[in-house]
Amino acid sequence: MLQNYRKIMVAVDGSTEAELAFQKAMNVAMRNDAELLLAHVIDTRAFQSVSSFDGVLAEQATEMAKQTLEGYKKQAKEHGCEKVSSIIEYGSPKPWIAKQIPEDQDVDLIMLGATGLNAVERLFIGSVSEYVIRHAACDVLVVRTDLENKVPVDQDDK
């Protein structure tokens, strides 16, 4: 019997790798007649170093995330994905993407790019994708290639 996924979460952060994961997630969701959940986690740890933080940065980040997710939702619906939802959370992306969102939303497949936007964190404490692979209770698919299964040109030197 073939595995059918019911709810596929794709983590998006605006990176090229996340875009590749989103493109493939749309196709997997359509093949499985599954719901596509677009997840974005605003890393509030970055705001902690700003002494004059008054909520403006968080509001700006939230507004940008909403606009990005709306764009992804529109693109998914135009592509033929009927069941599309989105979620924005705040905190450290690793536990949210690996555990909390999948548990809260009954996700059975997580798709994400091999790397994301935060190169400094990746260098010192490991990537989000690495953490998710180790800690998620459901299946995880790490996307490294485009829709033709080719490594994008700007990825060759990573």
**Which of these, 114, 145, 138, lies nearest to 128 by C-alpha position?**
114
Distance CA 127, CA 118 (A): 8
Band of residue 53 on the pLDDT scale cut at 50, 70, 90? low
Band of residue 156 on the pLDDT scale cut at 50, 70, 90? very low
pLDDT at 155: 47
Backbone angles phi, psi at 151, to 5 degrees: -70, 125
80 φψ region: left (φ > 0), alpha (ψ -120 to 50), beta (else): left
Q: Over 80: is that where the pLDDT of 8 sits?
A: yes
Mean of the per-residue pLDDT values of the chain? 85
Q: Which strands make up the sheet holding 109-113, listed edge to edge?
A: 84-90, 35-42, 7-11, 109-113, 139-143
Give the mean model confidence (pLDDT) for residues 26-49.
89
pLDDT digits (tens, 9 = 90+) for 54-77: 577 778 889 999 999 999 999 999
Band of residue 158 on the pLDDT scale cut at 50, 70, 90? very low
pLDDT at 61: 87
Report pTM: 0.85
* Domain 7-143 bears CATH identifier 2.60.120.10: no
Distance CA 19, CA 10 (A): 10
Kindly state the tokens that stand for 113: 């790019």
Q: Residues 6 or more apart from 58 whose CB is under 8 A from it?
A: 42, 44, 47, 90
Q: Of 17-26, 97-106, 138-147, give the range with the top mean pLDDT.
A: 97-106
Distance CA 50, CA 136 (A): 31
pLDDT digits (tens, 9 = 90+) for 84-129: 999 999 999 999 999 999 999 999 999 998 865 555 544 544 588 8
pLDDT at 58: 78
pLDDT at 116: 55
